[in-house]
Structure 1
Amino acid sequence: MSYSYSSYSSSSGGGAGGAGGSLKLGSAGGFQQVSSFSDGGTYRTSWSTGGGGGRSSYNAGSLNASSGALVPVSRTRSYVQYGAGGGGSSGSIEANEKIEMQSLNNRLGSYIAKVRALEEANRNLQVQINEASSVAVVTDDGIDWAAELAAAREALLAANLQRARVEIERDSVLLEVNQWQDKIGGVMEQRAILDDELNMLRRESEELTMEKVDLEGQIEGAKGELEFLKQLHDQEVTDLKKRITEAGSVEIKSDYQATDLNAALKAIREQYDEIAARNRAEVEASFKGKVAEVKVQQEQSSEALTLVKSEVSETRRTVTALTAELESLKAQGFALQESIASAERENASRLESKIEIINSIKME
């Protein structure tokens, strides 16, 4: 029985050595064989036969690439009634199945060996290409300009990184300066608020001083009024005594009337004494209460004034410290700007020198 080659397709990867494909063999006498392999190392073959009146199909088995052993998978047959005008005999096909399978497996094994050889050659070529691409380019004058260009690129990259770093530091310093300016503005606003409160406390202190003077005047007036009441009381007592003395020269007709007069005088005297004592106590209590109130208000005003003065002093010290720190940060910002400008000039000069070297190389 002869076979004719019909078609073949395969694919392989250069890195890992994976491959896959199928091999379709021709037919002879109604017999057709198809073999396929995958990148996992498994190869399968199937074939079918048919004559004029019937057809049989077989899934013969799989071949492991590592061991080369054929592993049977399944086998199916289908028969129909054969006609008289057919091609081959079913009895002869069944008799030659094992011989045909062995021949096909031998051909498949040789094909696998060729595929492995091609993959190994592909890997060797890839290694040679990588080695050739890693060799440094050296010109005829013996100078490795690739290394010079790489060094120039690295220097330029380092300069750009340094410039970016300096710019970041400058932006950070400017941000910090702005933050300190905002803080100083807030402190100045607080200082203005404290100044307003201090002025208000001063006005309140002046008002309290005026009230104190007014109360002192009222106290002096109350003292004068009390003195006048005392004098009036003494005058009334003196007049009453004179009247009593003058009345004493009148002839007293009975002891009962004298007793009533003495009782009346005593009652009048007690009434005046009670009125005078009550007025004195009220004036003294009012005076003491107002004096105590004035003293408390004065002490509170003094404490508030002292506290405001201490806060103002602390605010002034804080403003002075912040101003000094702001000046220091400004000086640092100017120094950073100068260093940035110097780095830019130095990088520009280096870049120009490298460009001149590259241009001279191109001219040569």
Structure 2
Amino acid sequence: MSHRMDYHSGSPHRGAQAEYCCYQPKLTGSPSASRTVGFESTIAYTNRGYATTLKSEFGSVPRSSESLFDLSNPFTEVLTKRNEKELLHGLNDRFARFIEKVRHLEHENELFEREIEEIKLKAQSPASLAQEHEPELMDLRNLVHDITLQKRQIEIEHQNLEEDFLTLRDKYEQEARDRSNAENGILVLKKDANDAYLAKLQLDKKAQSLVDEIHFLKKNHEDEVSEMVAQFQEAQVTVKAYKFGKPDITEALRDIRVQLEGHATSDFQQAEEGFRVQFAKLTKAAESNREALKATQQEIQENRRHLQGKTIELDCGKGMREALEKQLYELEKRHYAEMIHYQDTIRQLENELTNAKLDMSGYLRENQDLLNVKMALDVEILSYR
């Protein structure tokens, strides 16, 4: 009886009544007529089941259902009681199943209401949703800001490295030009040194020829002097021989001797004067050649010192060039490594930013799905009500 009261009572179990009505045949007309038709059809269905039982108990069964339910029929009362009992038993079983199903649906409804309340608490409005995810959004914004700052810092460092690279390249080009100029100067100095060496050889040859000429002139002068002295001595001997042999011609010989002495003296003086003049010329030429040779030697030494200085400068330039090339190589290598590192960092940060955007879009989709579930549950709750 409690089940029947619950079934006919109001609000919580009204859904079971609607479900029970869906099992009855759909007929037009009043509700009482539909209930009567359902009851009669149930009785007719039950009669077919119990026909054999009645026949075995009472011996014969009427062929038509009208004669079966006729009150004047002796089997009508017994059949009616049994049908009512079976009908009530079946209805009670169905009603118990309906009640169990209603309780199950109420339990599910409570779970749904609980979930809806949780969803309402979590997603009451877009403002609350934004407020809930505000820390994550703030972290993502801070991450994007940090990534932007790091990217700008990397760009600034990259620009500074490019400027340093351009400066070093300009220095390298300037050093290369200085080296080329130094090499050209060295070539000019080598050419000047070769010219000076050739001039020295020519001057040495000229000085040697002058020395040979001086020796030849000295020897020639000595030969001439010795020849003149021999002639003079021979003349003196001849005069003396004639003096002792013929005294009458003494005066004549004296005159001849005086003349010869005068000629010899004049010739000797002329020869000596010529020799002195020529010797002075040769000495002057030798001095000038010696001075030219000395100047040439000094110039050669100066050129050698200048060449040594340029060679030292060239070696210093080569060492500086090698150091700059090594520094440039190290700088390019470090710049390339830093550029690769910064590119990897930028790529990693971009991937993290993309993943963060994907996570954010996933959160938004989940929230949208939860909102859709909430709306569907609200619609279902309204349909139950």
TM-score category (smaller protein): 0.5 to 0.7
Question: SS of the residue aligned with 1:142?
Answer: helix
Query: Cα gap change, 1:258/1:342 in structure 2, threshold over 3 Å: closer, same or farther?
Result: closer
Segment drifting more, 217-226 vs 332-341: 332-341
CA distance in 2, matches of 1:300, 1:291: 14
Code of the residue aligned with 2:196 in structure 1: it is: L
Query: Aligned-pair distance for 1:139?
Result: 6.5
**Structure richer in helix, relative to its length:** 2
- What is the CA distance between 1:351 and its match in structure 2? 1.9
Corresponding residue for 1:188? Answer: 183
Which structure has the bigger radius of gyration?
2
Matched, 1:269 2:253: no
CA distance in structure 1 between the aligned counterparts of 2:283 and 2:150, rounded to whole angstroms: 91
Match of 1:343 in 2: 338
1:287 aligns with 2:282: yes
CA–CA distance in structure 1, aligned partners of residues 250 and 345 of structure 2: 143
Mark the CA change 1:203 to 1:138 in structure 2 (over 3 Å): closer, same or farther: farther
| Equivalent of residue 362 in structure 1, options 336, 340, 357 | 357
Contact 2:239 2:253 in 1 (8 A): no
Q: 1:224/1:148 Cα in 2 relative to 1: closer, same or farther (>3 Å)? A: same
Instruction: State yes or no: 1:230 paired with 2:229.
Output: no
Shift of 1:268: 2.5
Q: Which residue of 2 aligns with 1:129?
A: none
Per the alignment, residue 333 of structure 1 pairs with 328
Distance 1:195 1:276 in 2: 49
Q: Partners of 2:249 and 2:225 in 1: how far apart?
A: 36
Count of residue correspondences: 227
Written as runs of structure 1 = structure 2, the 5 A alignment for 1:215-226 is 215-226=210-221
Give SS of 1:300's match: helix
Distance in structure 2 (CA, Å) of the matches to 1:314 and 1:301: 19
Question: 1:213: how far off?
Answer: 1.4
Q: Which residue of 2 aligns with 1:107?
A: none
Check the 8 A contact 1:198/1:308 in 2, yes or no.
Answer: yes
Q: Deviations over 1:95-148 (max 9, x none)?
A: xxxxxxxxxxxxxxxxxxxxxxxxxxxxxxxxxxxxxxxxxx977151212222
**Residue of structure 1 aligned with 2:196, choices 201, 218, 234:** 201
Q: How does 1:17-32 map to 2 (within 5 A)?
A: none
State the partner residue of 2:246.
250
In the aligned structure 2, how far is the partner of 1:236 from the partner of 1:138?
146
- In terms of mean alpha carbon deviation, does 183-192 or 263-272 score higher? 263-272
| Percent of paired sites with the same residue | 8
Aligned to 2:174: 179
Distance apart, 1:331 and its partner CA = 1.5
Q: For residue 133 of structure 2, what is the aligned residue in structure 1? A: 140
Aligned match of 1:240:
235
Q: 1:297 aligns with which of 288, 292, 306?
A: 292
CA–CA separation in structure 1 for the residues paired with 2:233 and 2:131: 142
Q: Distance in 1 between matches of 2:253 and 2:279?
A: 39
- Please tell me whether the aligned partners of residues 177 and 329 of structure 1 are also in contact (alpha carbons under 8 angstroms): yes
Check whether the contact 1:252–1:258 (CA below 8 A) recurs between aligned residues.
Answer: no
Structure-1 residue corresponding to 2:347: 352
Q: Which one is further off, 319-328 or 277-286?
A: 277-286
Structure 1 residues 234, 139: CA separation in 2 closer, same or farther (over 3 Å shift)?
A: farther
Matches of 2:155 and 2:330, distance apart in 1 = 19
Write the distance in 2 (CA, Å) between the matches of 1:354 and 1:308. 66
Task: State the Cα distance separating 1:318 from its structure 2 match.
Answer: 0.5
Task: Work out the CA distance in 2 between the residues paired with 1:350 and 1:326.
Answer: 35
Structure 1 residues 245 and 162: CA distance shift in structure 2, 3 A: same
Q: Distance in 2 between matches of 1:317 and 1:139?
A: 77
**Pick from 156, 160, 170: which aligns with 1:165?**
160
Deviation at 1:254, TM superposition (A): 8.9
**Alignment correspondent of 1:26:** none
The verdict on how the C-alpha distance between 1:254 and 1:167 changes in structure 2, with shifts beyond 3 A counting, is: closer
Please, which moves more after superposition, 259-268 or 311-320? 259-268
Q: Which has the higher strand share?
A: 1
Q: Which runs of 5+ in 2 are unaligned?
A: 1-129, 363-385
- Cα distance in 1 for residues equivalent to 2:275 and 2:345: 104
Seen in structure 2, the aligned counterparts of structure 1 residues 177 and 252 have a Cα distance that, compared at 3 Å, is same
CA distance in 2, matches of 1:158, 1:296: 73
Deviations along 1:1-32, one digit per CA (max 9) or x if unpaired, are xxxxxxxxxxxxxxxxxxxxxxxxxxxxxxxx
The Cα shift of 1:275 comes to: 2.3
Give the Cα–Cα distance (whole angstroms) in 2 for the partners of residues 313 and 253 of structure 1: 84
Displacement of 1:208 = 1.0
Give secondary structure in 2 for the equivalent of 1:341. helix
- Unaligned 5+ segments in structure 1 are 1-136
Residues 235 and 329 (structure 1), Cα distance of their counterparts in 2 relative to 1, 3 Å cut: same
Using the alignment, how far apart are the partners of 2:305 and 2:131 within structure 1? 79
Amino acid at match of 2:156: L
The CA deviation string for residues 40-89 of structure 1, in whole angstroms up to 9 with x for no partner, is: xxxxxxxxxxxxxxxxxxxxxxxxxxxxxxxxxxxxxxxxxxxxxxxxxx
- Following the alignment from structure 1 to structure 2, what is the Cα–Cα distance between the partners of residues 190 and 258? 80
SS at match of 1:235: helix
User: What is the RMSD of the two structures over their aligned residues, measured on CA atoms?
Assistant: 2.2
User: If the length of structure 2 is used for normalisation, what is the TM-score?
Assistant: 0.55
Q: Which moved more, 1:210-219 or 1:343-352?
A: 343-352
